[in-house]
A = this chain, B = another copy of it.
Amino acid sequence: MKNTMPSKPSVRYIRGDASVVPMRAPQFQCRACSCRHLCAPRGLNGEEIRQFEAVVGSPLHLAKHQVLYRAGDLFHALYAIRVGSLKTSVLAEDGREQVAGNHIMGEIIGLDGIAAEAHGCQAVALEESEVCVLPFAALETLARSVPALQHNLYQLLSREVGRDHNLMLQLGSTRAEGRLADFLLNLSERYRQRGYSANEFVLRMTREEIGSHLGLTLETVSRLFSRFQAAGVLQVQGRDVKLLDLQALKDLAG
């Protein structure tokens, strides 16, 4: 709420719509995708996947800080993250921003747009990324003849609800230390599921974004990293994090 920048929205986000460009022909994209066992077509058989691929639009390439959609934008598709990571954030009327989610490859975003036919939050790429476009109307139609897909969609939505409940639990009942510890463990686990190191990774969000996500200030986040490092729980160098003592983190988190 600094009044130093009245004209600019908040940061130099790249305007999305114009510069978004298709990348390649859509054929075979899901079967060749490294996220196929995590993504929407999970568990579909050969013929079903082929139908699914026919529905999926061309992947979009996003530059760092590029906006995929804004709050209020008409909803027409879900987006599956194929490469990279995005943040989703809710905006209050007064301009305050709360980071609602930090999404990495294999995750699907835009789910909150189904209800209102408009997106309720905005999605911004945290680094160079690539997303698959899943037009929702077509998805819904296909789901009627492909029960496995229908179920996957319900599961996706439900899983998001569960995730949010857990985050609320953290925000409401834990103090700063526990929130950051939980955040790191959560991220670590998701990287592990995707075949990356669970102990060593790069944070794609700034201290301010992490703080916003956890209901803390950037200074508190910074201090906590320093404190965790001093306690030997992790090593941190800017955005590079190495978790040294997972058990200690778990103790801090719960």
A residues touching B (Cβ–Cβ < 8 Å)?
90, 92-94, 96, 98, 100, 111-116, 120-121, 140, 143-145, 147, 150-151, 153-162, 164-169, 171-173, 212-215, 254
Contacts and interface: CB of A to CB of B under 8 A. Distances in A.
A254 B143 contact: no
A173 B212 CA distance: 8
22 contacts: A90-B169, A92-B254, A96-B173, A98-B173, A100-B169, A111-B161, A112-B158, A112-B161, A113-B158, A114-B154, A114-B155, A115-B161, A116-B159, A120-B165, A121-B165, A140-B150, A143-B150, A144-B145, A157-B158, A161-B161, A171-B171, A172-B214
Chain A contact surface mostly: helix
Given A90-B169, A169-B92, A212-B172, A147 B147 contact: no
A149 to B, nearest CB: 11
Given A100-B165, A114-B158, 14 more contacts: A92-B173, A111-B157, A111-B158, A112-B165, A114-B154, A114-B155, A114-B157, A115-B162, A140-B150, A143-B150, A144-B145, A153-B154, A172-B212, A173-B215
Contacts of A171: 168, 171-172, 215
A165 B90 contact: yes
Contacts of A92: 169, 173, 254
